[in-house]
Amino acid sequence: MIIQNNPDLQAMDYEIEAARNTEKLAKKKSYPNFGIGVGYIDTAHARASGVDDSGKDPIIAMFSLTLPIWADNYKAAQRQARAQLYQKTHETMFLPYYLP
C-alpha cells in the first residue's frame, strides 16, 4: 500500500506512459500523410466582359500526399523511443528497492 502511494513510483508510471506515447508517435510519423482541402479566391469585378466566367470567384479543391522518404530518420526515432521506454521500465522495476 505504501509503495502504491509513493509519489516517486507514480511519477515513474507517468514517465513510462509518456515514453509509450512517444514510441507510438515516432511510429506514426513514418506513415504517409494525406490532406484534403477547399480554397476560395476572392477576385475583383469582371474586367474583360467578353471572357466567360470573368470576375467569378473560383472554388478550388486540394489534395496532398506527403511521403516519408527519410525512413532512416524515423526508424532511428522509433529505436530511441523504444530504448527510452525500456530504460524507464527497468528503472521502475528496481525503484522500490531504493525507497526508504
The residue ranges of every structural domain in the chain are 7-42+55-98
Write down the residue that cell numbers 489534395 correspond to.
63
Give me the mean pLDDT over the 32-36 stretch. 92
Give me the mean pLDDT over the 26-42 stretch. 88
47-71 confidence digits (pLDDT tens)? 666 666 666 778 899 999 988 887 7
Distance between CA atoms of residues 92 and 82, nearest Å: 15
Residue 67 and residue 32 in contact, taking contact as beta carbons nearer than 8 Å: yes
Q: Looking at the whole model, is its pTM more than 0.85? A: no
**What pLDDT is recorded for position 1?**
46
Give me the mean pLDDT over the 72-100 stretch. 79
What is the torsion angle, in degrees rounded to the nearest 10, for the CA atoms of residue 41, residue 45, residue 51 and residue 52?
60
* Comparison of pLDDT for 50 and 42, the residue scoring more: 42
Distance between CA atoms of residues 100 and 87, nearest Å: 22
